[in-house]
């Protein structure tokens, strides 16, 4: 592929770029791809240079496509773009262009609050509700419905039966004792060595 200096501006990842090209082609608008990529650079700068990883690369690609196809910039604003501009996804790397922010707020969904609601910390309530759960289970319970986590707990293997991290040498010796007799066994690590021999 020829060198394309514009990629330094839009920085759209390859997967997003190929999907964008395929969708424009399906709509009979493949000739608009260069214009959309130029607009991606503009949108990215106006939104304060968000990092080009999922989902932000998709936000920029969609907004740029809408700007080009509609012929009026930010006439249509996806919910995700408005949420991003208002800080719902966390602190922005740089401020959104004030004029663009006005258009985003005006033309985006009116159901999206101007000030994002900050969620309460989840961990204290989860620890109270599930006092015997370890951190892994608490993370699952925060992410999934309780019925799903309960089913996971019921069907999980007995991990304690496989736990050897606490006493690995004792575990190894017990396992060796279960096997047919061994005439000589040597365990060594670094400068230390243990040799066990079977009495005839």
Closest CA to 75 of 114, 53, 45, 107: 107
Segment 59-86, tens digit of pLDDT: 999 999 999 999 999 999 999 999 999 9
pLDDT digits (tens, 9 = 90+) for 86-145: 999 889 999 999 999 999 999 999 999 888 777 788 889 999 999 988 888 899 999 999
Closest C-alpha among 184, 183, 165, 164 to residue 174? 164
Instruction: Go through the domains of the chain in sequence order and give each one's CATH number.
Output: 7-107 (1.10.472.90), 123-156 (no CATH), 161-197 (no CATH)
Regarding pTM above 0.75, the answer is no
Question: What is the C-alpha separation between 96 and 101, in angstroms, rounded?
Answer: 6
Q: How far apart are CA 48 and CA 94, in angstroms?
A: 4
- φ, ψ of residue 185 to 5 degrees: the values are -135, 130
- What is the tens place of the pLDDT at every residue in 23-46? 999 999 999 999 999 999 999 999
**Residues in CB range of 81: below 8 A, 6 or more apart:** 47, 59, 62, 63, 104, 108
């Amino acid at each position: 592929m020829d060198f394309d200096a514009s990629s330094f501006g839009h920085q759209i990842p390859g997967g997003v770029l190929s999907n964008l090209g395929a969708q424009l082609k399906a709509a009979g608008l493949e000739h608009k791809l260069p214009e959309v990529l130029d607009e991606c650079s503009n949108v990215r700068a106006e939104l304060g240079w968000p990092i080009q990883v999922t989902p932000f690369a998709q936000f920029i690609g969609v907004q740029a496509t809408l700007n080009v196809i509609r012929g009026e910039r930010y006439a249509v604003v996806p919910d995700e773009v408005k949420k991003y501009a208002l800080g719902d996804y966390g602190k922005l790397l740089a401020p959104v262009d004030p004029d663009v922010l006005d258009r985003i707020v005006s033309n985006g969904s009116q159901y999206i609050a101007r000030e994002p609601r900050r969620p309460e910390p989840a961990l204290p309530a989860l620890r109270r509700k599930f006092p015997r759960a370890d951190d892994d289970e608490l993370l699952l319970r925060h992410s999934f419905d309780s019925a799903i986590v309960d089913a996971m707990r019921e069907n999980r293997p007995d991990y304690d039966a496989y736990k050897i991290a606490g006493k690995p040498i004792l575990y190894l010796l017990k396992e060796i004792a279960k096997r047919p007799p061994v005439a000589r066994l040597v365990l060594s690590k670094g400068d230390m060595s243990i040799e066990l021999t079977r009495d005839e």
